[in-house]
Chain A
């Protein structure tokens, strides 16, 4: 297969030393294997996520994502914008769609952008990395690259919210998307198909402001993974990953549970299966270690 190029929007959390830095590491490893070239959008800014709304009104938030699109159009004309972060993908794709269906909004946004001498057409596709994998490669192709099948590992595919709703991946159902399970299977591991909380919200950004309420949700997510017999959880979303991994001690303290459930990115799984070592796969970014993966990666 020929090299594939995309205009890449890494997003804040993927930066060096940021909460999803390990995600980025594994994505790089995975893309290397798949011969994908990610052309980072120069000087991209935050998407304002879905929590920017208190301070930022509708237009300012749209303008921020529009700026990224504008920069992408300049630097990587004709290339699909690809994001690895759910919130980045959602905010950017929403912006792209809204600008398209509403000429007034498009005009106002460009007025705003003109303040920095920018202009947006918003005619690129905005896609999540998972879409690239499923649509541009397909499970069979992805399977071909597997060098170390992740045999014997039971993995619960936690899709979460924003990589699922409102746009969905590969036209799959909002209530029971299967793409993570399929990916897990493709990598030689065993998906927990009956996993009940695969689309349960983890509290998202409110894990900061409404900790107790969120922890209750997160507890459910981890519990269901254990109930399903999972060794670890896989997710495509940095915030999901952080929320579900980081607070397990708090939850254990509060509900006296004994959670120690590793939460990894699909890209980590794939990198390991693709024969990358633990570092390249971002495994040392795990706070709760994914030992089975480390073993395989160590081989």
Chain B
């Protein structure tokens, strides 16, 4: 990977989620040289961990398949996985970027035949499933992982699992001596698309995420419903593996709250409406969803999705920020306490499972940016002259749904191209 050639007419895209992939592909399909770097072992980011999209209930992996194919076919685009930006210097049209590449311990020879995973024994929490399941110490991040190449968990290096894996590989693809590399790139413009992470639910103490097994987050719920997920698509609750049929969705879990995230994360309401759909789809009449909300924010033309969910017989809406969740020790059911503010009704409702519609927090903390950019109070990158040729794309720029993130990423591609073209123009 150290033979990456880049010039001040190259565009660097940081982050291989849907925003980064989009920005990179759109620019590359305009004939520009693009380098896309991604921290994890494969592309796809947060959306590849979703089961379905609202409001169409279509599958994110469908779009990922298209984007993966575009990526494989496009020779203007080069990908570096397990790579992070360590430092950036220079100015618009001429940045030098230090990229730290962590060892994968598996080289290009890998055919993804899976023999290494067969022999490795140690298992670790599967990050891709938010720790809801286990994965081997040699693994493919997920079935659609691109690059389709295995990874060795650094924790097995030095153990006989590592040697077993090496021996199992017929293609000399496992290189246990791989070291962390640092690569210097010269680029003309940078598109920052490091996206978002779910807010730490344990910090929302009244909801007991850290104390009550059957309180999970919306992103975890997506994994439960996904056939590729740890339960093969069954809604099994953590405490006892029983099917959860009576599910509560708590809105603004971390969002719109000065004790946590000041901003509205925009996607959570729609996500919960979608989750109510999952429950309805799986159990029909037997299922029951209750959505506790402050305002339902089904913005613009997808509002009719909200109305469709309202029409479902087994979905209840309660205008209330839940005050606290306690566990019924008998059966592990979470009990929600609060007041329905539409006409003042107290409730103590018992559910099988609570799904916290968890807020969206920028992945990179404001103080950890390796590059000088204007960050607003919410931690998002704000468009500003002083950012030079560093352009935010997707959820680095704001709390956005997929559609808006992609739209925004496409715009950022043009902004980068503007810089590249003026450099090219200047150099004739």
Contact = CB atoms under 8 A, between A and B. Distances in A.
Interface of A: 173-176, 196
A176 B324 CA distance: 12
A70 to B, nearest CB: 33
A176 B326 contact: no
A175 B202 CA distance: 11
A176 B208 CA distance: 9
Interface in B198-237: 205-206, 208, 211
A101 B211 CA distance: 36
> A173, A174, A175, A196 — which one has the most chain B CB atoms within 10 A of its CB?
A175
A196 B211 CA distance: 11
A218 to B, nearest CB: 18
Nearest to B203: A173
B334 to A, nearest CB: 14
A224 to B, nearest CB: 11
Nearest to A173: B205
Nearest to B324: A175
Nearest to B202: A173
9 contacts: A173-B205, A174-B205, A175-B205, A175-B206, A175-B208, A175-B324, A176-B205, A176-B211, A196-B326
Main secondary structure of the interface of A (DSSP, over half): loop
Main secondary structure of the interface of B (DSSP, over half): mixed
A174 B324 CA distance: 12
Contacts of B324: 175
A42 B391 CA distance: 63
B325 to A, nearest CB: 10
A175 B206 CA distance: 6
Nearest to B207: A175
A174 B204 CA distance: 10
Interface string B298-342: 000000000000000000000000001010000000000000000
Nearest to A175: B205
Contacts of B326: 196
A244 to B, nearest CB: 20
Contacts of A175: 205-206, 208, 324
B212 to A, nearest CB: 11
A173 B324 CA distance: 14
B283 to A, nearest CB: 31
Interface in B159-214: 205-206, 208, 211
A175 B323 CA distance: 11
Contacts of A173: 205
Contacts of B206: 175
Nearest to A174: B205
The 4 closest A-B pairs by CB, nearest first: A175-B205, A173-B205, A175-B206, A174-B205
A27 to B, nearest CB: 30
A82 B349 CA distance: 42
B229 to A, nearest CB: 30
A176 B326 CA distance: 12
A2 to B, nearest CB: 37
B37 to A, nearest CB: 37
A196 B208 CA distance: 12
A226 to B, nearest CB: 14
A196 B212 CA distance: 12
A122 B191 CA distance: 50
A196 B328 CA distance: 11
A241 B205 CA distance: 26
Contacts of B211: 176
A173 B208 CA distance: 11
A165 to B, nearest CB: 11
Contacts of A174: 205
B159 to A, nearest CB: 35
Nearest to A172: B205
Interface string B106-134: 00000000000000000000000000000
A142 B206 CA distance: 31
A6 B205 CA distance: 33
Contacts of B208: 175
A13 B211 CA distance: 36
A38 to B, nearest CB: 33
Given A175-B206, A176-B211, A196-B326, 5 more contacts: A173-B205, A174-B205, A175-B205, A175-B208, A175-B324
A173 B209 CA distance: 13
A176 to B, nearest CB: 6
B260 to A, nearest CB: 13
B417 to A, nearest CB: 48
Contacts of A176: 205, 211
Nearest to A196: B326
A209 B152 CA distance: 67
Contacts of B205: 173-176
A176 B211 CA distance: 9
Nearest to B326: A196
Nearest to B204: A175
B333 to A, nearest CB: 15
Nearest to B325: A175
A227 to B, nearest CB: 8
B148 to A, nearest CB: 44
Nearest to A227: B329
A173 B204 CA distance: 9
Nearest to A177: B205
B93 to A, nearest CB: 46
B145 to A, nearest CB: 38
Nearest to B205: A175
B424 to A, nearest CB: 54
A166 to B, nearest CB: 11
A173 B206 CA distance: 9
A174 B208 CA distance: 12
A149 B211 CA distance: 29
B322 to A, nearest CB: 13
Interface in B232-248: none
Nearest to B259: A174
Nearest to B211: A176
B241 to A, nearest CB: 22
B208 to A, nearest CB: 7
Contacts of A196: 326
A196 B326 CA distance: 9
A271 B208 CA distance: 34
A7 B324 CA distance: 38
A173 B202 CA distance: 10
A195 to B, nearest CB: 12
